[in-house]
Structure 1
Amino acid sequence: MDKKTKADFEKREIPPFLEKILALDVEWTKKFVSFSLNFVPIRSLKTHCKFLEYSCHGLVWLSALLAFCWLIDNPNYYQLQMNLLIGLILDIVFVASIKAATRRRRPTIDDSFLTIGPDKFSFPSGHASRAFFILLFFTALEPLPLLFWPPMFAWAVSVSLSRLLLYRHHILDVCGGITLGILESLLICILWLGKDASAWVMSWLSDEKLPSGTTQEDLF
């Protein structure tokens, strides 16, 4: 009787129909990237892919937002800060959970130094989900002036496309990420914190963030 290795036991059984879909996804991703690189604008975009990758990384956005919350003590921004923070945290949790469950391999080894934990897996694309959540947040939930909408849309699309050009993800990974980002924006719309709730959360995070300039102890 042949002895089964640990890898044999850990290998997951994939339904035949799903295996065919994944195989087609791999094939069409290669064809799409190869075809896209025939166009000069796409080739020029590839030179900026690394910048796009870092511009939408979860740790970068979380760090920047926390710094913004700490440095800008303005009650007018509390609602934006708190709801965006909740959305970014939920995005990281959802993406990590789905990646840990699906465990789909990336097209190539991810050499990014910011890749940790479940992020080594491919489905869904966290960059795509985050880019479209941020896009919808600043165009539908907490709209910026219309002047900023076109560049934000271009950035979100470019980030998603860069995941393919860098060969970090397959087409289905990016589509799944975009869908997840849209669903996250709908969820945040339901869970939306008002001004009072946002001010309370901000005061709970830091005594110095109370709108009245008092400390938490002064409330009791």
Structure 2
Amino acid sequence: MEEPSPADRLATSPTTKPTSLLRRLIDLDTTWSLHIHTICQPFPRFLLKALEISGDGRFCCPIPIALFLSPPSSNSSSLRQILILLFLGFLLDLIAVGSIKYLIRRPRPVYNKGMHLTVAVDHWSFPSGHSSRVCFIASFLYLSLASLTEAFSQVESSGNGFLSHWIGPDGKAVERSVFGVCLWSAVTSMSRVLLGRHFLFDVIAGACLGLLEALFVLYVIKPWI
């Protein structure tokens, strides 16, 4: 028989005020999550699956590596630094989410269907790794907006005609793209509940974790790069 998780032991311990509050929060989270999942069933599942794939670590992690090795990055030290920090953030997120899931061991919703787990820790639900990952990306890019603009300006000045056309005379394309990423991260995070992969609190915790990871990368790791 599997050993109870710390969350289960806390919830089933002798009745105390903190335990009672935790039990009520878990029950409320379960009820809300099921209600949201149920009323959104008509939502096209293929769109939710597409969002799931777009936020998958196996899809996201190779992107900064590929961009770092691409010719445009060789013309911008700022862009190389951003890509390095982005990749280190992905590694940090992988370690943080995996460790928390292993410690908490909250089961996924019983109505979670059609999910292909890759590693054992993915059997657990709290926190949402997709939410932490996409919110890290959005928070990191938003907080790095000035560096991003500088990076693309460096690449543009090297004679990249495509970037000159994309950025435009007002230079607002980078800002609009980052806001698009923020919208994508919010929709992808919410899709985890609609798809039945996670409870609502898993997603909220994942989003908060992603923001903390972005702050850690920018204000702790970046000065060492």
TM bucket (normalised to shorter chain) is 0.7 to 0.9
Q: TM-score, normalised by structure 2?
A: 0.73
Which residue in the other structure is 1:151 paired with? Answer: 180
Determine helix, strand or coil for the equivalent of 1:193: helix
**How does 1:33-182 map onto structure 2 within 5 Å?**
33-37=37-41, 43-44=43-44, 46-72=45-71, 74=74, 76=76, 77-108=79-110, 109=112, 111-113=114-116, 115-143=118-146, 144=148, 145-182=174-211
Deviations 1:110-152 (A, max 9, x none): 6443632312210000111111110011111245522213321
RMSD of Structure 2 on Structure 1 (CA): 2.2
Structure 2 Cα separation of the partners of residues 105 and 185 of structure 1: 27
Unpaired runs of 5+ in structure 2?
12-18, 149-173
The structure with higher relative contact order (CA 8 Å, sep 6+) is: 2
Instruction: Report if aligned partners of 1:110, 1:120 keep a CA contact under 8 Å in 2.
Output: no
Percent identity of equivalent pairs? 30
Structure 2 Cα separation of the partners of residues 179 and 60 of structure 1: 22
Instruction: Report if aligned partners of 1:137, 1:185 keep a CA contact under 8 Å in 2.
Output: yes
Structure 2 Cα separation of the partners of residues 75 and 111 of structure 1: 44
Unpaired runs of 5+ in structure 1?
1-5, 199-220
Determine helix, strand or coil for the equivalent of 2:108: coil
Q: TM-score, normalised by structure 1?
A: 0.75
Aligned residue-pair number: 184
Residue 113 to residue 140, structure 1, CA distance change in 2 (3 Å):
same
Structure 1 Cα separation of the partners of residues 180 and 66 of structure 2: 24
Segments of 4+ moved more than 4 angstroms: none
